[in-house]
Amino acid sequence: IDLIRQPVRDPAETINKLLTEKKAGVVRGTTDITWLNGENFKLAKNSALLYGPFTQVLPSYVQFYDHLSKENNLDFGTPVLGYEAPFGRAQFVFVYDSAKLKDPPKSFKDLKAWVQKYPGKATYPAPPDFTGSAFIRQVFYGVTGGYAQYFEPGGLAKVSRNLPQLWAFLGDLKPYLWAKGKTYPDSSTRLNQMFADGEVLLTMGYSPTTAEADIRKGALPKTVRTFVMEEGTLANTHFLGIPFNATNTDGALVVADFLLSPEAQLSKFDPSRWGDFPAVDLKRLPPELAQKFQSINLGVSTLPVSVLESHRVPELPPEILVDMEKQWVKEVAAK
């Protein structure tokens, strides 16, 4: 198999391309396997853009994955039904330099007092940037009483009723943010650079090892650490999908099976390579192989797995996320 990686700035580009090919009747596409998550998966699934179900024919998935896990069967609340294969796990963390900051905020409810103490030294990327959008979703949970209420029967109806609390809180933060909230970084990359340059005291990312790679490259000092809020931080599984018009479906299945294999999952878990948390079920591995995962050096900046696991909170459905991003522009940025 010749595996040719095509970098993509936004997964929506791939989905839009597949939508165009579907309408045009293109039966031999240019994409054989693709990364999927959240709203992109829901659109692809609802538009019949995916081959499958296929996970049941992947030996790695059958042998080494938890088939009953919600994290493997739901993608931002959308049933997977075998149309994508779990590839890795992500969780949002905040990043600070322990040499410069001794008192990072411990909770979202404390965040207001913290930014007032350090005016101009905090901000977040402007939605729809993925990291900025995730930040406001977490604040939403934090200032409205937690996530559990939204996952009870009829709970999603509470979202729109509680959104004014989010906009009020973010509005209160605004005057104390970098540039007094008149503008926001356009990406997490920009925010990370501002943090490295000392313009702000916090940055953030949707990976527990987000700081470790930069520390090892020398882009951040060894005193940088990560933390999660007391209320918890968003976590999800990201997946692999096969387009409906993949030219080499058999090759895509082989590649997917390899990427789900314990050996590949172990390799990408190493922060010197990627630091992406594994989706494989360690309890299903031979003891000596499971020990190798537990022996991976995640670095001093990465929180213990037990801490991360105890602070994972689920994502809301994609349609709510998109609406929240649009409302942020009107309710926060434009004011």
Give the model confidence (pLDDT) of 209-228 as tens digits.
999 989 999 999 999 999 99
Q: What is the 3-state secondary structure (H, E, C) of the chain?
A: CCCCCCCCCCHHHHHHHHHHHHHHCCCCCCCCCEEECHHHHHHHHHCCCECCCCHHHCHHHHHHCCCCCHHHHEECCEECCCCCEEEEEEECEEEEECCCCCCCCCCCCCHHHHHHHCCCCCCCCCCCCHHHHHHHHHHHHHHCCCCHHHHCCCCCHHHHHHHHHHHHHHHHHHHHCHHHHCCCCCCHHHHHHHHHCCCCCCEEECCCCCCHHHHHHCCCCCCEEEECCCCCEEEEEEEEECECCCCCHHHHHHHHHHHHCHHHHHHHHCCCCCCCECCCCHHHCCHHHHHHHHCCCCCCCCCCHHHHHHCEECCCCHHHHHHHHHHHHHHHHCC
User: Are residues 242 and 33 in contact, defined by beta-carbon separation less than 8 angstroms?
Assistant: yes
What strand order describes the sheet that includes 203-205?
A: 203-205, 93-97, 224-227
Question: What mean pLDDT is reported for the chain?
Answer: 95
Does residue 12 surpass a pLDDT of 90? no
Percentage of the chain modeled with pLDDT above 90: 91
Q: Over 90: is that where the pLDDT of 10 sits?
A: no
Tens of pLDDT, residues 298-319 = 999 999 999 999 999 999 988 8
- What's the rounded mean pLDDT across residues 24-33? 95
Cβ atoms of residues 9 and 57 within 8 Å: no
Average pLDDT over residues 131-147: 95
Higher pLDDT, 322 or 21: 21
Distance CA 12, CA 10 (A): 5
**Per-residue pLDDT averaged across 86-97, rounded?**
97
Smallest Cα–Cα separation from 305: which of 220, 197, 226? 226
